[in-house]
Structure 1
Amino acid sequence: MAEKKDPPYFMYFPDNYRWSAAFINMLSAAPYGGSEIGELHKIGVKLKGKAGDDDEAWFNACTEVADGVSEYADRWAKEGNNTSAAHAYQRAANYYHMAERFRTPKDKKALDVYQRGIDAFHQFIKLSDYEIEIVEIPFVDGSLPGYFVHPQKKIAEKSPCVVYFDGLDVTKEIQFMRGVPDLIKRGFSVLVMDGPGTGEAIRFRNHYLRHDYEVAGSACLDYLETRKDVDPKRIGIVAISLGGYYAPRCAAMDHRWAACIAWGAQWDYYETWKKRIDAQFKLSLSVPGHHINWILGVDTLDQALETLKPFNLDGVMQKMECPFLLVHGAEDEQIPLSDAQKQYDACGSKDKTLRVYTAEEGGSQHCQRDYLTLVVADMWNWFEDRLIKNLK
């Protein structure tokens, strides 16, 4: 029998891709205030010896630790120690939302924990030294929730701005802890969004995932054009994971965007899920397989596949005109590198770059969860080159 080889990257739970992916996502948020190793170790100890499909154990372990961190935050806030409290509320928000992500259908217990994450993040906003507005973006049959984060470095009366969408299973609160503090230090404002199919938008407003994501993207542009503190000619877009479909689709279909980053490739999302379903979900997934039914608002996997047929970037990428950066991991187990090459080759932009991260340098996992600060530095450097440096 051939000897089983260790993966060329770190796995916290060696035999559980999904739990490891989530755990490393929490761990990598530490440079941006999203986690603390001692708190994560408590989660790991609680999960020791648990079966990989015991998502109730995951939910309970993360929630219990989040509750403990919230208790610290509440005590410090009452004592007037706002800085300490803000830090703790931010981490608690991350743990609450990572606790809830595997729990579908979203029962009352799940939604209560999710709301605790939002409440904790709002306390973080109130007590931290970040200037963050809680905003509503007018959208079909209502609005989409977001955070407008003001720049910490003033470089012009009207700042360049980045719209930051999430992915299949991420939230705007988690997204903040994936590089936003570094963007605002460079002089960008950032609009961090829960789009259709994610976060509050689906949980509390029934905005299901849609293939024409440019409807959400263009709504954000329309909103930003009303602000006197944003330069409407210098607005970029970035989105992570499935956001590698969202952001390029938005940029290709609305030429007001000044730059676009796909943080992880996508090509034909119908084919991606057909392979997963045909394999009975025995592939590397970041969520339980039935998650796709929930975000699409359907009852069966057959209905999900039918709904996913238009989620294809062939014929879309060719329409893109703005500068485009695509980043991808060489060892990405969720989306093959070949899809990244197809997406890059099809892109119509004259200024386009494909950056592939290897195991040797780090960042080779899905969306560089194993070296977050490296990819964030590269992406934000690229945004700065396209949206700021020619201001000076």
Structure 2
Amino acid sequence: MGDLSSTRRGAAAFLDNLPVDDPHAAIGQQNWITRWTKIGDEYCLLGDLNIKKGAFDEATDAWLCALTAFETARRLVDQDDPRSVDVLAKVDGGIQRFELSLAQKIERVKITCCDHAELSAYYLPAGSPDLPASAVICISMEQETGATLLGRLLPVVIGRGMSLLVITHDDVSSHSRGKSEALLSFCLDYLSARRDVDDTRIGVYGEAFSAVLATEFAVSDGRLAAAVCDGGLWNWARIVASVDWLTRTANIALENDAISARRLQFIRQLRCPVLVVAGGRGIVSVSEATKLQAYCMAARIDLELALPRMIRSPGRGIENFVTSDDCIFGWLEHKLALNSHQYVVGQDNQIT
């Protein structure tokens, strides 16, 4: 038991040191799921006791520690494990507890879109009418609720001075291409109209297939100041595969030149700084992202690359979400700062 900073350091160290290639690793992992869930429960109890005493800051810190613990447990649970439902329910309960705090409120908002349709979202304010803050539109992964993403990000963004608007992937991706970008533009309109948001410092964040949505949105709406996305690599890869299948060209040199030109054509449509997260649970391959970064450096395009640390586990890989999220939102914090300067991920492109 400790404060939020020590809890996150402990979770990151635990994930980095998960045993691998151990015949008893699977059994140990089940025990750790139980242990991290219990840690979360204990922090929830501590937060409840603090809120009864009127110690709102201490209660908030405890509940954020609980959300970190539950997210750690969630990373260890297989999707078909019955305990995954229980852990997700605990995340939802942690958010509801956080809403009791007077330190920082979560708003459940409805964003009016075209044809009078409404998009549900969570909004975490960080600014005020006298001191507007930067803001980030966060799109959950496919088959992930907005509440699950919010529970993971709350401990990351507290104290960074940025507001969050969290929406669900399925609410956006269920629409046709063009319509999805329009829905995200309505989200940007909503933030721009708020007096507690600086409309010149709004970014977008998406991972896995939501990174594709974030790229298409950044291309279609030039008001964005930063984007964590796939850099166009997903759509570019599909086009290259189609062209290769149709032409069956034997001129490798000409083919490579065409591929390079096409890669740059995609990225030049993005008019804001870009962070591409490659490998891990995402859809962007490390090799293609590395090539894209090299081309962008030569063309003086503001694109940076980050590689999440993955820990091998029986049957799958587990991402160290603590270091990954800290890096991504550190990059966003700097890019969306009033006096923005370049934020370097690391010489080896590793998220640290």
User: What is the TM-score with the length of structure 1 in the denominator?
Assistant: 0.56
Equivalences for residues 349-360 of structure 1 within 5 A: 352-356=301-305
Flag the 1:131–1:316 CA change in 2: closer, same or farther, 3 A.
farther
Q: Which residue of 1 aligns with 2:256?
A: none
CA deviation digits over 1:48-84, x for unaligned, max 9?
9854498765543432222222122222223333322
Select which of 181, 186, 189 maps to 2:159. Answer: 181
Select which of 118, 127, 134 maps to 1:151. Answer: 127
Distance in 2, matches of 1:138 and 1:59, equals 40
Distance in 2, matches of 1:100 and 1:224, equals 31
User: Quick check: which one's helix share is greater?
Assistant: 2
Distance in 1, matches of 2:97 and 2:295, equals 44
- The answer to whether residue 196 in structure 2 is matched with residue 218 in structure 1 is no
Flag the 1:131–1:343 CA change in 2: closer, same or farther, 3 A.
farther
Q: Which residue of 1 aligns with 2:228?
A: 262
- The answer to whether residue 282 in structure 2 is matched with residue 338 in structure 1 is no
Flag the 1:219–1:263 CA change in 2: closer, same or farther, 3 A.
same
Percent sequence identity over matched residues? 16
1:161–1:191: 8 Å Cα contact kept in structure 2? yes
Q: Which residue of 2 aligns with 1:92?
A: 66
Secondary structure of residue in 1 paired with 2:103: coil
Secondary structure of residue in 2 paired with 1:178: helix
Distance in 2, matches of 1:332 and 1:380, equals 22
Q: Which residue of 1 aligns with 2:275?
A: 326
Flag the 1:105–1:269 CA change in 2: closer, same or farther, 3 A.
farther
The amino acid of 1:37's aligned partner reads G
- The answer to whether residue 92 in structure 2 is matched with residue 118 in structure 1 is yes
Distance in 1, matches of 2:294 and 2:309, equals 21
Secondary structure of residue in 1 paired with 2:159: helix
Distance in 1, matches of 2:196 and 2:300, equals 27
Flag the 1:266–1:254 CA change in 2: closer, same or farther, 3 A.
closer
Select which of 202, 205, 219 maps to 1:235. Answer: 202
User: What is the TM-score with the length of structure 2 in the denominator?
Assistant: 0.62
Distance in 1, matches of 2:175 and 2:324, equals 30
Secondary structure of residue in 1 paired with 2:104: coil
CA deviation digits over 1:162-213, x for unaligned, max 9?
323344566122123334531x1xxx4x22313214xxx7xxxxx7777845
The amino acid of 1:247's aligned partner reads A
Query: How far did 1:248 drift?
Result: 1.7
Select which of 160, 166, 175 maps to 1:193. Answer: 166
Query: How far did 1:142 drift?
Result: 5.1
Equivalences for residues 249-328 of structure 1 within 5 A: 249-255=216-222, 257-262=223-228, 267-268=233-234, 317-318=266-267, 320-328=269-277
**Aligned-residue CA RMSD in angstroms?**
4.8
Which has the higher Rg, Structure 1 or Structure 2? Answer: 2
1:175–1:192: 8 Å Cα contact kept in structure 2? no
Query: How far did 1:251 drift?
Result: 0.9
Select which of 39, 46, 60 maps to 1:72. Answer: 46
Flag the 1:385–1:79 CA change in 2: closer, same or farther, 3 A.
closer
The amino acid of 1:73's aligned partner reads G
2:67–2:91: 8 Å Cα contact kept in structure 1? yes
Flag the 1:346–1:63 CA change in 2: closer, same or farther, 3 A.
same
Secondary structure of residue in 1 paired with 2:79: coil
Name stretches of at least 5 consecutive residues in structure 2 with no aligned partner: 239-261, 311-318, 342-352
